[in-house]
A = this chain, B = another copy of it.
Amino acid sequence: MPVFEESLAESAQAVNELLERLLPLEDLPEARLLEAMRYATLAGGKRIRPSLVLAGAQLFNVAESCALRVGAAVELVHCYSLVHDDLPAMDDDELRRGRPTCHVAFDEATAILAGDALLTKAFEILADSETHSDPAVRSELVFELARASGAEGMAGGQMLDLVAERHTLDMPEVTRLQRLKTGMLIGFSCEAGAIMGKAPKPIRLALHAYAHDLGLAFQIADDLLDAEGDESEMGKKTRKDDAAGKATFVSLMGLERARAQARLLVDQAIQHLEIFGEKAEPLRHLARFTIERRA
């Protein structure tokens, strides 16, 4: 395995171990809730968002134990959003990461509650004094994650996605949808290290710019995978956007231009990292990995 992919696998492993500890299963009558939360969280996944948090935190010499907890919190938010998005009333998906989705493995009520509890847990982790010794940092992490996940972020993006089922979007609309639905959480992941490291504003803006380009590249790559990817390799249903008649970057630009655009965005993202020199190497690798992944 190349060095970068080895270190990505190591990060994922560290995040998995922490998530396992953060969601302990106890012998209680409500244990089914924890079982569903663990099912939705511990089933693998590339852990790209925590890897971004870890790589960003390295720039500012933030303790890895802090960065891991913030990465775990972001991953919980990501997992909660998958559980709720998969529900019959939403995207009605039955397969995720190669296994039945949470509401299929458990039931709808449990899946709704598990999503709620995962989201809540994310904020509990960030506000916990174990995450960072400075309460101002903890408070800012909570505030920024909430902004990225709520009505003006991810939840707003999912609403746009639902609205899009009745109205075909154009390019600026698809771009805005994806910026909200996936871009804001990726943005938080990239900037969290700067918050933990109390980096000055201009430094943070460079990471913000990196995240902006990366988020779009990530989504174009997702659309390409949906259009071209292999269902068994990806562990979820593909060709869904096409079947639903949804406008995506691929439907609007075509495969060739979408691929070129993703490459361009990754190059652009990497350019924003210049001020960090060698230290940003992991973030550069992550940007390239984003469009090269097969699932």
**Contact partner, A30, options B87, B90, B160, Cβ 8 Å:** B160
> A16 to chain B: closest CB distance in Å?
19
Does A207 touch B at the CB level, under 8 Å? no
Q: Which residues of B contact A28 (CB under 8 A)?
A: 156
Does A20 touch B at the CB level, under 8 Å? no
> A158 to chain B: closest CB distance in Å?
6
Does A252 touch B at the CB level, under 8 Å? no
Does A227 touch B at the CB level, under 8 Å? no
Q: Which residues of B contact A42 (CB under 8 A)?
A: none
**Contact partner, A121, options B84, B87, B121, B150, Cβ 8 Å:** B150
**Contact partner, A139, options B113, B117, B138, B160, Cβ 8 Å:** B138
Does A32 touch B at the CB level, under 8 Å? yes
CA A80 – CA B115 in complex, angstroms?
A: 13
Does A205 touch B at the CB level, under 8 Å? no
**Contact partner, A162, options B109, B117, B120, B136, Cβ 8 Å:** B109
> A277 to chain B: closest CB distance in Å?
32
> Do residues B112 and A87 form an inter-chain contact, with CB atoms below 8 A?
yes
Nearest to A116 among chain B residues (CB) is: B155
Which stretch of A62-70, A141-149, A236-244 is in the interface? A141-149
Nearest to A144 among chain B residues (CB) is: B127
> Do residues B151 and A33 form an inter-chain contact, with CB atoms below 8 A?
yes
> Do residues A162 and B110 form an inter-chain contact, with CB atoms below 8 A?
yes
Q: Which residues of B contact A264 (CB under 8 A)?
A: none
Does A123 touch B at the CB level, under 8 Å? yes
Supposing A90-B112, A135-B136 touch, asked if A142 and B126 sit within 8 A by C-beta, the answer is: yes
Which residues from 61 to 114 on chain A have a C-beta closer than 8 Å to any C-beta of chain B? 80, 84, 87, 89-90, 107-110, 112-113
Does A253 touch B at the CB level, under 8 Å? no
**Contact partner, A159, options B110, B134, B159, B160, Cβ 8 Å:** B110
**Contact partner, A113, options B33, B123, B140, B159, Cβ 8 Å:** B159
Which residues from 151 to 209 on chain A have a C-beta closer than 8 Å to any C-beta of chain B? 151, 155-160, 162-163, 173, 180
CA A120 – CA B156 in complex, angstroms?
A: 12
Does A5 touch B at the CB level, under 8 Å? no
Question: What are 26 A-B contacts defined by CB distance under 8 Å?
Answer: A28-B156, A29-B163, A29-B173, A30-B156, A30-B180, A32-B163, A33-B151, A33-B155, A34-B151, A80-B116, A84-B113, A84-B116, A87-B109, A90-B112, A113-B155, A113-B162, A115-B116, A116-B119, A120-B146, A120-B150, A123-B123, A124-B146, A127-B127, A127-B146, A129-B139, A142-B142
User: Given known contacts A117-B156, A121-B151, what 6 new A-B pairs fall within 8 Å (CB)?
Assistant: A32-B163, A89-B107, A119-B119, A124-B147, A127-B143, A129-B139
Task: State the 4 A-B residue pairs at the shortest beta-carbon distance, nearest first.
Answer: A89-B108, A124-B146, A120-B150, A127-B142
